[in-house]
Structure 1
Amino acid sequence: MTQDVVGTAPADLVRTDRVAGRLYTDPELFELEMTRIFERSWIWVAHDSELPKPGSFKSTHVGRQPVIVTRDRKGTVRTLLNRCRHRGASVCEKPSGQVNGFTCPYHAWSYGLDGSLRGVPYPDGYEGVLEKRDLSLRRLRTESYGGMIFATLDEGAEPLEDFLGDARLWIDRFMKQGGGYPIKVLGRHRFTFRGNWKIQLENTTDGYHFPIVHRSWMASVDAETADMMSFMTDPECTTHDLGHGHSVMQMVPEHSDLDADDGSEPLQARFDELVAELSRSIDPPGVRKVVRAMHGTGFNLNLFPNVSMSAAFFRVLRPISVGETQIEHIAIGPDGPPELDAVNRARLRIHEHFQGPFGFGTPDDAEGWDRVQRGAGAAPEMPIMVNRGLAREKPSPEGWPTGHVTDETGMRAAYGRWKAMMGDD
């Protein structure tokens, strides 16, 4: 158990029950990950609600490459490389907004919302040497499912729906937390931690750490919420390997499909005032749907390699270097009539309590991730173990490899995909 994983090729560094410790610390491996994984995978870039009308845009990254996600005049969502075709300057530095197009601040080359080159100052110097139609901003393949927008630098990548595979069922379920309404982004915050991106990727479907790392949060909530999250010994709480590196961890199975409600579960007493406020304008079944979904869904869905749909928020990771990762937490809520403003205010307070920068969950998680990175630098011959629950893993009726919620099934799923992509020359 103290021997490192045998082999030097990237694909040799992953076994079923362990991975080489240098997966967290080797700069050369990190560079390969950026080209073989982040430039070949479908990368989540936006939610549909962030681009509400033509001219809406959002700046983000695909791997380490800066991009702009826009909705053009025809309503088509585009992902454009944020690099002027003239001398390489970025054409947009704002995180989001509403524009008619993009103009490079260096020499004022201007581009449409679809990336086409519209204008060049003093064009007489370009007679016979420039064709505007040949110099659009580079467009990335962009596809969406369930309001989740993905882009890829690989023109030969499989269709998005094939890439998502059986995860589509869980995306559909996640979107039901709008209580009959679509969901929308409510707000976000970003932070960086001093660790490798895969440390965070592992965390989302790691139920084993929850009562240990988050015991201060457990002590801060009401008894009903704490009881709902007491999943450590419940055999019905499981983690599924969904294929393609994706996995789902069910902490509260009875909330996995929010439409499956026989009416017997009482609404939490902490929401009594909210129920009374909503009942003045919404019928009882509608109130029950939105209030029952206040904590989101009962599962965390991990979509390899960069986004998770975690209970009631999106968590997005962006690798910066082998030892630094940016995390974005995005709060979501129902997109409906003004009466739901009270619901979204309450959802934001719940989000802040755990995921927020001054909440209980995020600082504790980030401390754990930092420690893993520091410790991984010691005894480089020692592997990282991902063998919990391996002997009791069984196929579900759907054929998904399935373990207990505390097992490392999700990590094995992600590293299986990592191994396949890193070994693809």
Structure 2
Amino acid sequence: MTNKTDAHQTLTLGDRVQADRVHTSLYTDPAIFEQEMDKIFSSTWVWVAHASEIPEAGSYKNTYIGRQPVIAVRDRKQQVHVLLNRCRHRAATVCEGKKGKTNSFVCPYHGWSYSLDGALRGVPHPESYADQLDKGELGLVSLRVEEYAGMIFATFKDDIEPLADYLGPAKKWIDLFMKQGGGYPVKVLGEHRFRFPGNWKIQLENTTDAYHFPLVHKSFLSSVDKQTEEMLDFVGGPGYVEDLGNGHSVMVMIPQLIDLEENLDAPIPGRFAELAEQLRAEQYPEQEVRRIVRAVGGSGFNLNIFPNVACSMAFFRVLQPISVIETEIHHAVITMDGGPQAANQARLRLHEHFQGPMGFGTPDDSEAWERVQKGAGAGTDLWIMLNRGLPGEKPTADGRASDVSAETGMRAAYQQWKKLMTA
């Protein structure tokens, strides 16, 4: 007789992702997590930075691809490199600051020094190596890097498809999202970082989950004005979720805010009336006032780019797997580089209202994610249901779509997970 534990253990990775559900072991099995680090995070395009985070020669940002520490850096020719943060001598990290500016990277252990492109430049007391040290072979390991609309991605795979092909239909949504610059370049100005005790895929699911919003974010909805509350009452509205291929998806919550430059003559929402008056007082033309105010409010959609970044209404949400039961989240606020100070301050206040430890959104989300992980430990052969909206899904030019509260985006992500994990 086969018990439930045996039934769980005999499932293949492919069996654990069905058209309408995934097995709970995807949240709890350490062996599966280890395979994800190799077959997903080391085998596809992973977001590492926005161009504004490394604006000048010598600018760098420390981050991770899966659990591997990497440095995104701009060299003196303005080319971006993503380097493994590991000295080629004895493996010590060569850079510890989160972000900054430098002329080179120097290992603190034995002093090996590297240029901004990762090339090995200096070794203390080289005479001890005689002629057996080939500097050309011992530079920092450099990954393949490509950029789209300021979003920088890297991969360990040299033979992977070009980034533009990987993004596919998601590119047009990235272009729309970047209109939040309001005519200025988009700039990352800071971020909230926190960890929650749960698997990284729980957060991945959340970005295109409108179903939870009225319940989980009831406190947030109670903190906004009536006009904003009505705008955010989108679960029964005309929005939709669309599978964009390769695990990417978009959730359109407020269709009238897909393109922020359309219908600028519409009435300015009451919550932005004071900002509009301040911009007018600073002699900004009326059309520019409207464009800036519209940008401050954010886009009416969330875009999920598999596996680790979302363009979420008004910020970048980046996930970093720590372990099978722990994930770190970065909520990076975006502003207008060179834009009006009043507009950028308003954007920061909006970000703080929802994000961070004192926000009305982040604590409620993280509580829900923690409860999912806790509940995943109950039972030995149970499934996560992802069938909401499946009967109403219809083909589109870019994939498949259903109503705004459908779990289409989650199904899209798990089909890409299955493709990579069983390759």
> Do both proteins adopt the same fold according to a TM-score greater than 0.5, normalized to the shorter chain?
yes
Question: How far 1:262 sits from its partner (Å)?
Answer: 5.3
Question: Could you tell me which amino acid in structure 2 is paired with residue 209 of structure 1?
Answer: H
Question: How far 1:5 sits from its partner (Å)?
Answer: 7.9
2:264, 2:290 within 8 Å by CA — same for their partners in 1? no
Aligned with 2:292 (options 290, 293, 304): 290
Aligned with 1:29 (options 25, 28, 32): 32
User: Is 354-363 or 246-255 further displaced after alignment?
Assistant: 354-363
CA distance in 1: counterparts of 2:336 and 2:370, whole angstroms: 34
Alignment of 1:39-78 (within 5 A): 39-78=42-81
CA distance in 1: counterparts of 2:345 and 2:250, whole angstroms: 27
Alignment of 1:209-228 (within 5 A): 209-228=212-231
Question: Could you tell me which amino acid in structure 2 is paired with residue 105 of structure 1?
Answer: P
Provide the residue aligned with 2:415 in structure 1.
416
Q: Which runs of 5+ in 1 are unaligned?
A: none
Question: How far 1:335 sits from its partner (Å)?
Answer: 1.2
Provide the residue aligned with 1:168 in structure 2.
171
Aligned with 1:250 (options 249, 252, 272): 252
**Sequence identity percentage:** 57
Alignment of 1:316-395 (within 5 A): 316-337=318-339, 340-395=340-395
In structure 2, the residue corresponding to 1:115 is in which secondary structure? coil
2:8, 2:380 within 8 Å by CA — same for their partners in 1? no
Provide the residue aligned with 1:87 in structure 2.
90
Alignment of 1:230-309 (within 5 A): 230-234=233-237, 236-261=238-263, 263=265, 265-279=266-280, 280-309=282-311
Question: Could you tell me which amino acid in structure 2 is paired with residue 411 of structure 1?
Answer: M
In structure 2, the residue corresponding to 1:46 is in which secondary structure? strand
TM-score, normalised to structure 2, is: 0.97
CA distance in 1: counterparts of 2:384 and 2:421, whole angstroms: 18
TM-score, normalised to structure 1, is: 0.96
Aligned with 1:97 (options 97, 100, 106): 100
CA RMSD between the two structures: 1.2
CA distance in 2: counterparts of 1:36 and 1:50, whole angstroms: 28
2:120, 2:136 within 8 Å by CA — same for their partners in 1? yes
CA distance in 2: counterparts of 1:401 and 1:380, whole angstroms: 33
1:6, 1:12 within 8 Å by CA — same for their partners in 2? no
Q: What are the superposed Cα offsets for residues 44-98 of structure 1, whole Å, 9 maximum, x if unpaired?
A: 0000001111000000001100000000010000000000000010000100101
Q: Which runs of 5+ in 2 are unaligned?
A: none
Q: What are the superposed Cα offsets for residues 16-55 of structure 1, whole Å, 9 maximum, x if unpaired?
A: 0011111000000000000000001111000000111100
CA distance in 1: counterparts of 2:209 and 2:279, whole angstroms: 36
CA distance in 2: counterparts of 1:271 and 1:399, whole angstroms: 35
Alignment of 1:1-12 (within 5 A): 8-12=11-15
Question: Could you tell me which amino acid in structure 1 is paired with residue 161 of structure 2?
Answer: E
Cα distance 1:382–1:187, how it changes in 2: closer, same or farther (>3 A)? same
Cα distance 1:301–1:7, how it changes in 2: closer, same or farther (>3 A)? farther
Question: How far 1:249 sits from its partner (Å)?
Answer: 0.2
2:192, 2:355 within 8 Å by CA — same for their partners in 1? no
In structure 2, the residue corresponding to 1:208 is in which secondary structure? coil
Provide the residue aligned with 2:149 in structure 1.
146
Cα distance 1:226–1:255, how it changes in 2: closer, same or farther (>3 A)? same
Cα distance 1:323–1:6, how it changes in 2: closer, same or farther (>3 A)? closer
Question: Could you tell me which amino acid in structure 2 is paired with residue 350 of structure 1?
Answer: L
In structure 1, the residue corresponding to 2:41 is in which secondary structure? coil
Q: What are the superposed Cα offsets for residues 303-323 of structure 1, whole Å, 9 maximum, x if unpaired?
A: 000000000000000001000
CA distance in 1: counterparts of 2:370 and 2:33, whole angstroms: 17
CA distance in 1: counterparts of 2:311 and 2:83, whole angstroms: 25
Cα distance 1:326–1:262, how it changes in 2: closer, same or farther (>3 A)? closer
Instruction: After the TM superposition, list the runs of 4 or more consecutive aligned residues in structure 1 that deviate by more than 3 angstroms.
Output: 3-7
CA distance in 2: counterparts of 1:178 and 1:5, whole angstroms: 49
In structure 1, the residue corresponding to 2:55 is in which secondary structure? coil
In structure 2, the residue corresponding to 1:139 is in which secondary structure? coil
Question: Could you tell me which amino acid in structure 1 is paired with residue 387 of structure 2?
Answer: N
Question: How far 1:336 sits from its partner (Å)?
Answer: 2.1
Question: How far 1:281 sits from its partner (Å)?
Answer: 2.5
Is 2:133 aligned against 1:130?
Answer: yes
CA distance in 2: counterparts of 1:18 and 1:220, whole angstroms: 35
1:318, 1:326 within 8 Å by CA — same for their partners in 2? yes
Question: Could you tell me which amino acid in structure 2 is paired with residue 271 of structure 1?
Answer: F
Question: How far 1:258 sits from its partner (Å)?
Answer: 1.1
- State how many pairs are aligned: 417
CA distance in 2: counterparts of 1:206 and 1:333, whole angstroms: 25
